[in-house]
């Protein structure tokens, strides 16, 4: 696996390559779950012929399931894709002797990599799920790694062991908890997945400078499960508020169909979906209808928590798509606003977007190109 990541240009630090080679992933992930097309899950362990090949592939492995209230099992913990973890640790640019806090212990695999790289006395990791922490501790000890593990709410950090030179969050958050910044050394870094709504956001790397932390979003998209405040529940994603954007409310529950030249497919255009989500006053989910012949979306659907919906028929032979909407919000108008603004900005990629956390004013802002050019604020 290490050789493959080096050959693919996804692993550069020799010290991390040594850690990846030394840490036996199978010892920390003795089983995982794979989902079938009918959404059922199958448990895979060492008795399956595909187990070792899959464990040592560059793949995210679902390791724990729970019914979160919908009557179906959903992933609540995983062993992240190794190349993503390597990319994140390399982005932190950690040095010998530095102390790192991981938010989200999970299987303990990343804690083992960090322990090999920095020494176990410099690694701290927490998780809300006591059973996961206990299993990780036992499995880590079995391969001679004993970092400091704690059962705690990740949003509070680990103040009793602060300050840290770096904090890495293997979960998504709707905004950066201020205490994470406060628990960093001055000049320390935090790397976290900011998702203002489901899938809407990306990794951001911030460096503390006094009472502020400033940085930019990663150039490549990544996604993690939301931070949990209880063992089996995920928190609703917060809604951000864009600067000077109206809500386009309507007293009518249905409006005539219309054409649009703005099309955003959330999974294919994550930055545009992020800019759209910043403008949405309610939580919105999305879905697709797939054309069986083309094997690509023929319709995109938005569903808001207040009952508003937007359904867009995608025109593959021209650029005028058909929109039908119901409910108090004109959801697709927000898509069009985001698309128009993105075009006016010169169609920026992630690297032109930045983020600032101010622990004095308790504000968090999104900016374009420079911190002095804010384009949105996040709720406290």
Residue labelled with tokens 């930045």: 354
Angle at alpha carbon of residue 27, lines to 22 and 28, rounded to 5°:
100
What is the distance between the alpha carbons of residues 265 and 262, in angstroms, rounded to a whole number?
10
The pLDDT of residue 229: 77
What is the distance between the alpha carbons of residues 324 and 241, in angstroms, rounded to a whole number?
25
The pLDDT of residue 305: 87
Nearest in space to 112 (alpha carbons), one of 9, 21, 213: 21
Sheet of 254-260, strand order: 254-260, 321-326, 309-313, 296-304, 284-291
What is the distance between the alpha carbons of residues 113 and 26, in angstroms, rounded to a whole number?
13
The gap between the terminal CA atoms of the chain, to the nearest Å, is 41
| 279: phi then psi, degrees, rounded to nearest 5 | -95, -10
The pLDDT of residue 253: 64
Q: Which residues of the chain have pLDDT under 50?
A: 232, 234-251
The pLDDT of residue 76: 82
Nearest in space to 310 (alpha carbons), one of 246, 270, 254: 254
Nearest in space to 105 (alpha carbons), one of 131, 125, 81, 83: 125
| 328: phi then psi, degrees, rounded to nearest 5 | -75, -15
- pTM, two decimals, is 0.90
The pLDDT of residue 237: 38
Q: What are the chain's domains?
A: 2-217 (3.40.50.150), 241-344 (3.30.310)
Q: How far is CA 333 from the centre of its chain?
A: 26
Q: Which residues are catalytic?
A: 80
In a 3-state reduction of DSSP, which class is residue 158?
Answer: coil
- Using N-to-C axis directions, what is the helix angle for 270-277 and 331-344, rounded to 10°? 120
The pLDDT of residue 42: 95
Q: How far from 288 is each of 239, 268, 296, 299, 301, CA to CA, in Å?
A: 22, 12, 9, 6, 6
pLDDT tens string 306-354: 899 999 999 988 889 999 999 999 999 999 999 999 999 999 999 999 9
DSSP one-letter string for 160-196: GG--EEEEEEEEEESS--HHHHHTEEEEEEEEEEEEE
């Amino acid at each position: 696996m290490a050789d493959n990541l080096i050959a693919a240009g996804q692993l550069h630090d020799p010290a991390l390559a040594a850690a990846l080679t030394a840490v036996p992933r199978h010892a920390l992930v003795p089983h995982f779950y794979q989902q079938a097309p009918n959404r059922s899950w199958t448990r895979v362990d060492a008795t399956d012929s595909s187990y070792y090949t899959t464990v040592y592939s560059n793949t995210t492995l679902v390791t724990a399931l729970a019914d979160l209230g919908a009557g179906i099992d959903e992933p609540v913990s995983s062993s992240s894709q190794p190349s993503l973890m390597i990319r994140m640790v390399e982005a932190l640019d950690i040095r010998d002797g530095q102390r790192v806090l991981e938010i989200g212990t999970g299987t303990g695999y990343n804690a083992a990599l960090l322990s090999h790289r920095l020494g176990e006395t410099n690694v701290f990791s927490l998780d809300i799920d006591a059973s996961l922490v206990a299993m990780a501790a036992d499995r880590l000890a079995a391969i001679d790694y004993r970092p400091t593990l704690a059962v705690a709410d990740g949003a509070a950090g680990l103040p009793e062991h602060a300050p840290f030179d770096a904090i890495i969050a293997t979960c998504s958050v709707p905004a950066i908890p201020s205490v994470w910044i406060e628990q960093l050394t001055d000049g320390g870094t935090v790397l976290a997945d900011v998702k203002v709504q489901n899938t809407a956001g990306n990794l951001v790397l911030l460096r503390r400078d006094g009472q502020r932390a400033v940085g930019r979003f990663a150039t490549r998209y990544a996604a993690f499960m939301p931070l949990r405040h209880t063992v089996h529940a995920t928190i609703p994603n917060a809604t951000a508020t864009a600067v000077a954007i109206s809500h386009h409310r309507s007293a009518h529950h249905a409006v005539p169909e219309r054409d649009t030249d703005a099309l955003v497919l959330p999974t294919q255009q994550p930055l545009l979906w992020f800019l759209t989500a910043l403008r949405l006053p309610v939580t919105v989910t999305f879905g697709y209808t797939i054309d069986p012949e083309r094997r690509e979306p023929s319709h995109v659907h938005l569903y808001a928590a207040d009952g508003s919906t937007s359904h867009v028929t995608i025109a593959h032979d021209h650029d005028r798509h058909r929109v039908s909407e119901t409910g108090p919000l004109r959801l697709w108008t927000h898509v069009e606003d985001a698309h128009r603004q993105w075009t006016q900005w010169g169609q920026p990629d992630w690297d032109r977007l930045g983020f600032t956390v101010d622990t004095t004013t308790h504000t968090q802002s999104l900016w374009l190109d420079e911190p002095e050019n804010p384009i949105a604020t996040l709720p406290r």
